[in-house]
Amino acid sequence: MYNLLIGGAAGQGIETTAAILEKFLKRSGYHVLTIRDFMSRVRGGHNFSLIRFGTEPIRSHSDRLDGIIALDDETVHEHRDQLNETGFILGDSKLSATDDRLIKVDMAGMAKELGNPRVSGIIAVGILLKMFGETLDGAEDVLGTFVKQQYLQINQKALEQGYAIAEKRYEHLDGKYSGWMLISGNHAVALGAVAAGLRFYSAYPMSPSTSILETLAALGDEAGVVVEQAEDEIAAINMAIGASYAGARAMTGTSGGGFSLMVEALGLSGMAEIPLVVIDVQRPGPVTGLPTRTEQSDLRFVISASQGEFPRMVIALRNQEDAFYQTMRAFHLAEAYQIPVILLSDQYLGDATATVEPFDPTRIRVADPASSYDGEDEYLRYRYSEDGISPRLIPGKTKHLVAIDSDEHDERGWITESAEVRTKMVDKRMKKIEGFRRELLEPDMIGPEDFDTLLLGWGSTWGPIAEAVRLLNQKGQGRYAALVFGDVYPLPQKLLKEKAAQAKRLINVEQNATGQLAGLIREETGIVCTDSVLKYDGRQISAEEIAARIRKEGAK
């Protein structure tokens, strides 16, 4: 397994360099995981991508580096301590930093000579491919996905020149992942939505959710999806609800700040029973917080957001595969139960690219609204029923009229203040929870059955926790396992109760300061975590850090 860091200032092209390199490595068979750490600025600052690759599935990033690609001096200074003794730093001759491990190449000069200073990053990719024993097979195809046709030739040349001047240093390892996908959480969400039949996406740009909006916009024309940039998040969610009411499968996406503005309309989806999928790609709050960084601190907020009481479901995305399949499933649940379904992701997962088996959209069935009403009695949008679900017709697609109201309403959808109707309507809506409770997916159980310490997590810490369990069981005392929740609200309790009863220690691992999952578990089940590993500095916890903090005991 190898671990590389590409660092530099914003605007220096780290993004493209990393994207091209990771694609080459994945295509040659490696399992690749790339995480992205940026500052909230367009120029300058210090940004980096960490590319980890090997022949076994990679779940977590690591802070121990085999190589650094430094586009500026700061990268060398910031990260040299993480570099292995035998590691290397690849930098431009311009750099003033000194280090025994530093290989300086006049990449800027070479790029200038080629006629475009911007190709120096590609020269670096060429050098790296040679160092790692790769070939340049299929280079044109890889480059073609990232650079415009007219720049293809010069990039190809840059790649070849870099390759030519370098020497092989590492052995190529044979992996079996060349036919797999390399995709970020946000892109996987966009694909999942389209696979589920998304027709309408409205959003207001907000990091780190914006790449969902952009990905959908890029494919919207071809896929038949209206992608609308709303004037604010209140408009975004009300538009999605209006479109869904009228029969177009709809979704909106944002981060915590925008979600705060959407809160009232979330209740409209609940009250009027209009299917809606909302994704909150979390970043550290409160308010503007750390705009481009990661956190899991909106759980308590989204499970209780909006006044009053109504059924909702919250699904935390754990990895890029979840991002695709759970997005599809969210559309199914929203339609089947006529509820809002909230997806929780975060910057780490949204921006990180991972290697996944090609998605199979046929794996998830997505319900459709009723196409006709053939009951003997009058059509009633909110007819009382056994399971609380009433026939949802699409206005204009039937001779029946479809009336919805944010006021409490009767079966027709007309405003009412009757005490009896009010009680029956609340009961009707709440009854739907019983239905989707039966569809809840239990958390992922990771590790051996004979554990004594159980870690509890949710969402994007799935990868780091999974690898931490492996590290902890490799050496050290005790046996470790973990439960990582995807469906998180309502909370699935079966496996939790069973495994918690067996555990001597229960440790919640979360990217927040208050242990929100632990709090929810305590509230719902009375199960109390004995220790916690919490991190809220805006940087994703690694497997090594989890393991180290647990070994250090106390684990506070």
Question: Which stretches of the chain bind other proteins, using CB under 8 A?
Answer: 27, 145, 179-183, 187, 191, 194-195, 197-200, 202, 219-226, 228, 230-232, 234-236, 238-248, 250, 264-265, 268, 272, 358-359, 361, 394-407, 413-415
Three-state DSSP class for residue 201: strand
Amino acid at 193: A
Residue among 264, 258, 190 at smallest CA distance from 227 = 190
Contact, 76 vs 94, CB < 8 A?
no
DSSP class of 415: B
Three-state DSSP class for residue 25: helix
Q: What's the closest the beta carbon of residue 234 comes to other proteins, in angstroms?
A: 7
d(CA 345, CA 255): 9
Contact, 160 vs 136, CB < 8 A?
yes
Residue among 338, 351, 304, 330 at smallest CA distance from 520 = 304
Residue among 287, 286, 351 at smallest CA distance from 540 = 351
d(CA 467, CA 61): 10
Instruction: CB nearer to other proteins: give 70 or 203.
Output: 203
Which structure tokens are listed for 538? 């805006």
d(CA 350, CA 368): 28
Q: How many CB atoms lie under 10 A from the CB of residue 342? A: 26
Tokens 């046929």 appear where? 362
Instruction: CB nearer to other proteins: give 32 or 110.
Output: 32
Contact, 501 vs 526, CB < 8 A?
no
Residues 6+ apart with CB under 8 A from 107: 92, 93, 120, 123, 124, 162
Which structure tokens are listed for 263? 């809160």
Amino acid at 237: I
How would you classify the pairing of strands 276-282 and 181-184? Answer: unpaired
How would you classify the pairing of strands 44-54 and 2-10? Answer: antiparallel
Three-state DSSP class for residue 163: helix
DSSP class of 117: G
d(CA 381, CA 404): 8
Residues 6+ apart with CB under 8 A from 103: 88, 89, 90, 91
Residue among 316, 271, 324 at smallest CA distance from 298 = 316
Amino acid at 519: G
Three-state DSSP class for residue 56: coil
Amino acid at 38: F
